[in-house]
Amino acid sequence: MRTGFADRPRASTMIRGRVGVMVAPDNPAAEPELTRLLGSRADMHVARFPVRPGLDLAERLESYNDALPAMIRSFGGLSLDAMVMASDAPRYLLGPDEDLDRCAELGLLAGVPFASATLATRQAVEHAGATDIVLVSPYQPWLTELAERFWKTAGLAVTQVVQVRARDGFLPYAVTPSELIEQVELAEPAGDAVLVFAGTAMATLPVLGPLGAGNDRFLVTPSLAVAWWTLSRALGQPVTLNRVPYRRPAAARGGR
């Protein structure tokens, strides 16, 4: 099954949005993937979180949450249509309700709609009408457990957790597309499962075709969710997530 999104064009001239995106210092995937997904429909302006040497992972993630007001102010007087935190791991330290409340407060500060990658993913899953998900996570086990708890608290049934590991350990930015495809397929998620990927630093666009081919899976990656949410706000018009059912050959269905 193919996963993607399409906006509903207006009869007037094409609308081009302008969005502010915040990413972690060592994230190699967010900007390339969002550039492809936003295309000509929105210009992207990026700010990176401060480098925090000497902090362990949990402390560094918490520092990203704390830095958000300053990050918003760093855009100065740049006119934006929406702002998004293209990082999901820091929000797993919070609950989904706190994530939602903080995003609302940050939106008031920014003067435009604001979302974290987790809020965008949550709304994308709701938009798709899904209630059961398979969580695919490249994070360390303790952070994966927090992610699982986050989504369960958000009201979703996590039916399976697929722990993805790069050759050198739990490093999202080091997971190759081939490693991701292999480990997800080895876990044998159902052919109609909704796969929710954690890890904005993990390249996911190259795996959409292979993991969605010949089945009815619905794949929600952070980049897809962020782009969908951003375009929905920046364009000021509905953007629909596509869930195109896989149509098996007639012979396989017992037809002619």
Return the pLDDT at 5. 54
What Rg, from alpha-carbon coordinates, does the chain have? 18
- Whether 117 has a pLDDT exceeding 60, the answer reads yes
Q: To 5 degrees, how large is the angle CA 61–CA 67–CA 71? A: 125
- Whether 104 has a pLDDT exceeding 90, the answer reads yes
Close Cβ partners of 16 (under 8 Å, ≥ 6 residues apart)? 40, 41, 42, 43
What angle do the packed helices 30-38 and 205-212 form, to 10 degrees?
A: 70
Return the pLDDT at 236. 77
Rounded CA gap, 119 and 98, in Å? 10
Q: How confident is the model at residue 16 (pLDDT cuts 50, 70, 90)?
A: confident
Evaluated on CA atoms 141, 144, 150, 154, the torsion sign reads negative
Mean pLDDT of 80-96: 97
* Per-residue DSSP letter, 22: E
How many Å separate Cα 119 from the centre of its chain?
A: 9
Top pLDDT among 10 and 188 is at 188
Domains of the chain: 2-243 (3.40.50.12500)
Tens digit of each residue's pLDDT (9 = 90 or more) over 169-189: 999 999 999 999 999 999 999
* Short-list 20, 30, 46, 38, CA closest to 227: 38
Tens digit of each residue's pLDDT (9 = 90 or more) over 140-156: 999 999 999 999 999 99
Return the pLDDT at 234. 84
Mean pLDDT of 78-86: 97
Return the pLDDT at 11. 41
Average pLDDT, the chain: 90
Return the pLDDT at 13. 54
- Whether 2 has a pLDDT exceeding 80, the answer reads no
- Whether 225 has a pLDDT exceeding 80, the answer reads yes
Rounded CA gap, 152 and 199, in Å? 18
**Portion of the chain with pLDDT greater than 70, in percent:** 88
- Whether 34 has a pLDDT exceeding 60, the answer reads yes
Is residue 156 within 8 Å of residue 126, measured between CB atoms?
Answer: no
- Whether 255 has a pLDDT exceeding 60, the answer reads no
- Whether 1 has a pLDDT exceeding 80, the answer reads no
Only one residue has tokens 């330290």, namely: 93
Top pLDDT among 110 and 256 is at 110
